[in-house]
Amino acid sequence: MIRKFQKYWRKSLVIQRFSWMICIVFIYMLGRQIPIPTVGVDKVVLGNAIDSQLIENFGAITGIQFSSMTLFTLGIGPTMTMMILWRFLVTFKLISNWTSDKVNRLQFLMTLAIALLQSYGITNSSEFLISFGYNYVTLRIITIVLLTTGTLILNWLCKINSERGIGGMTVVILVNMILAFQSNTIKYFTTQQFDSDNLIKFGLLFCTVLSVLVCLTILLYKGEYRIPIRRVGLNTPYHSSSYLPIRVTPAGAMPFMYGMTLMMLPPYIFILLLNIFPNNQILEYLSVRIGLSQVPGVICYILLLYLLSIGFSYYNYDPYEISKNMRNNGDYISGKKPGEETLKYIQHVVNSFAQFGAFTVVVLGGLPMLAVSLQGHGKNSISIALLISNAYIIVSLLLGVMEQVDTMNSWKKYKNLI
């Protein structure tokens, strides 16, 4: 039995990669339970002016923990923040013609700097065990080093999962989102104190809405607009079926993920500035009003979602690069002259779906939070508002992982040439 399993395991690429993924997820979950020995209390709060409950929910996507100080408290937040900044550098061609070694070195230094900044912010209000014999400053430095080291270890695990497992960094995000979805669901139903009849009715309504949301997410993820293309000098039975696919939501779930990550930066910045300029009324006012239980903070989040959705749409579908590749490959669009006319047509199509995708992201992620904030009890109902975006992210990530598995399974259909 064991030999048969070993033989099947060696032949199945999916099982091998799935096993690596499970091991890395196990290590990640274990690291979330390893406490930092220098911290004496479980509660970690980002200052009195910061809404810790909302920050906890928004930090869930990257695995950032504020309720306890563990080895992986920072999660992959520094890495995702670095990737956002890196996309800007690539978009504005500030790092063109760089070697891979230089790129990797700069990415590492950026991640390290962001991890140190977040470690400094998260240890601002921590209470340390002075019984170790060290003073406050020394214990804080040790804690910052341990938190930063945990982030670098998690980066290394994600890299291994990209090479040998399934999903890469996406699996870590998926685990965090599933845990956040479970926590938000339980929190909402326990705080509302439903009686038996209302609990059954609301439970059925919740499952119905969730099912509709899952179906809508699948439809938006799978939906694509196909631009028929032709190739010069090529006439085959498959010639008429060639097309250029543009997703209905070009940015996917990335605006949610990176929007939540960017909304984590203001607390750290305000903590740093308030330490430099204590009792500054402007900073204190901004630190309170920028919270996501406040209308101004939610409006900032909605604008951020919109901008990220447009930006990622053009990043995933660059009209100039698409038209240039079509020219180099001898492809053209029927009824459109190659060159400027083709470029303008592709820009029009990408812009149309980018606007539609941005509208979808704002409706699913921003409007529920705005409605909760306008009702005046955002802190109590924020869990149900975040469930919508959490479900959208989970389904989108699962579909991406399933596509990767389908790609690996398709390799079995091709026999070895040698």
Tell me the three-class secondary structure of 187-226, residue by residue.
HHHHHHCCCHHHHHHHHHHHHHHHHHHHHHHHHHHHCEEE
Tens digit of each residue's pLDDT (9 = 90 or more) over 376-400: 655 556 666 777 777 888 888 888 8
Which ranges in 223-329 belong to alpha helices (H)? Answer: 254-262, 265-276, 281-289, 295-316, 319-329
Backbone angles phi, psi at 39, to 5 degrees: -95, 130
Q: Is the pLDDT of residue 176 over 90?
A: no
- Sort 190 into a burial class: Cβ within 10 Å, 0-12 / 13-18 / 19+: exposed
For residues 129 and 139, the answer to whether their CB atoms sit within 8 Å is yes
Strand partners, 16: none
What is the C-alpha R_g of the chain? 24
Q: Is the pLDDT of residue 187 over 60?
A: yes
Those residues with Cβ within 8 angstroms of residue 160's Cβ, 6 or more apart along the chain or in another chain: 20, 24
3 within some domain: no
For residues 194 and 206, the answer to whether their CB atoms sit within 8 Å is no
321 within some domain: yes
Residue 271's pLDDT band, with cuts at 50, 70 and 90, is low
Q: Is the pLDDT of residue 69 over 70?
A: yes
5 within some domain: no
Strand partners, 231: 331
Written as six digits, the tokens of 235 are: 């006439």
pLDDT of residue 291: 62
382 within some domain: yes
73 within some domain: yes
Backbone angles phi, psi at 83, to 5 degrees: -65, -35
| pLDDT > 70 in the chain, percent | 77
Backbone angles phi, psi at 194, to 5 degrees: -75, 150
Residue 10's pLDDT band, with cuts at 50, 70 and 90, is low
Measure the CA–CA gap between 300 and 287, rounded to whole angstroms.
Answer: 13
pLDDT of residue 355: 93
pLDDT of residue 174: 84
DSSP code, position 285: H
pLDDT of residue 352: 92
Whether the pTM exceeds 0.95: the reply is no
Could you please report the per-residue DSSP string of 164-192? Answer: HSSSTHHHHHHHHHHHHHHHHHHHHHHHH
Backbone angles phi, psi at 229, to 5 degrees: -125, 155
Calculate mean pLDDT across residues 210-217.
88
Measure the CA–CA gap between 140 and 132, rounded to whole angstroms.
Answer: 12
Closest CA to 80 of 250, 252, 264: 264
pLDDT of residue 38: 80
Measure the CA–CA gap between 342 and 66, rounded to whole angstroms.
Answer: 50
pLDDT of residue 43: 47
Residue 149's pLDDT band, with cuts at 50, 70 and 90, is very high
The residue that leads in pLDDT, 195 or 73, is 73
Quote the number of domains for the chain. 1
Q: Is the pLDDT of residue 50 over 50?
A: no
The residue that leads in pLDDT, 138 or 60, is 138
Those residues with Cβ within 8 angstroms of residue 180's Cβ, 6 or more apart along the chain or in another chain: 57, 60, 61, 386, 390
Residue 243, amino acid:
Y
4 within some domain: no
Measure the CA–CA gap between 214 and 207, rounded to whole angstroms.
Answer: 10
Backbone angles phi, psi at 231, to 5 degrees: -125, 135
- CATH number of residue 128's parent domain: 1.10.3370.10
244 within some domain: yes
Written as six digits, the tokens of 271 are: 């903590």
DSSP code, position 247: E
Domain that holds residue 246: 10-412
Q: Tell me how crowded residue 305 is: count the other CB atoms within 10 A of its CB.
A: 26
